[in-house]
Structure 1
């Protein structure tokens, strides 16, 4: 096979990128193929997997919002986990000390 030939998986990937909104001219330069070839791959992809395989714009927007919410939740969880780890470490160090940092009245 020639080195510039793409395998079926790569062709499907390129077709998905084109369907998801990446410009065909950009993809053609990126993968060193002609724009008409990519258009044929998109047509083949749609025939093979159907129109339901391509998400609509509203579905992509909803997915992007959902991903953003999940990333925000993950950032918050990581911050809380870091704070808890720090707190645990400080408490362990206090337990190791023989003289606590405060004075007690034992009289």
Structure 2
């Protein structure tokens, strides 16, 4: 029973990724599942959860802003790391 629950959670996760805009062909390769299977999961997920299954425009905008913030933080961290590496190299 536990493995079925895990499998259901994985299907929901894949369906959510597809609904959020990830291409089904990419997901099919990533999870080694046929595209038609993923399309069926998406259909089932939308039928089960209705409008809540599809993120609203404001949710997508918030997600995009959050992604941009995280990318900016990552760029800053990489720059600082590079500076520290250079500083360490100079001190040797």
TM-score for both structures, normalised by structure 2: 0.61
- For these two proteins, the number of residue pairs brought into alignment is 92
CA distance in 2, matches of 1:15, 1:46: 9
Per-residue deviation, 1:80: 16
CA 89–60 in structure 1, closer or farther in 2 if over 3 Å, else same: same
Q: Which moved more, 1:65-74 or 1:48-57?
A: 65-74
Extract structure 1 runs of 4+ deviating beyond 3 A.
Answer: 1-6, 66-92
RMSD of aligned residue pairs (Cα, Å)? 4.9
Q: Secondary structure at the match of 1:65?
A: helix
Indicate if the aligned counterparts of 1:4 and 1:32 stay in contact, CA closer than 8 A: no
Larger Rg: 1
Residue-by-residue CA offset, 1:69-91 (whole Å, 9 max, x unaligned) = 69989999999999999999999
Whether contact under 8 Å (1:12, 1:45) holds in the other structure is yes
Name the stretch that deviates more: 65-74 or 46-55: 65-74
Measured after TM superposition, the shift of residue 21 of structure 1 is: 0.6
Q: Structure 2 CA distance, aligned partners of 1:18 and 1:55? A: 11
- Uncovered stretches (5+) of structure 2, i.e. residues with no partner: none
Pairwise CA distance, 1:61: 1.1
Under a length normalisation based on structure 1, what TM-score does the superposition of the two structures give? 0.54
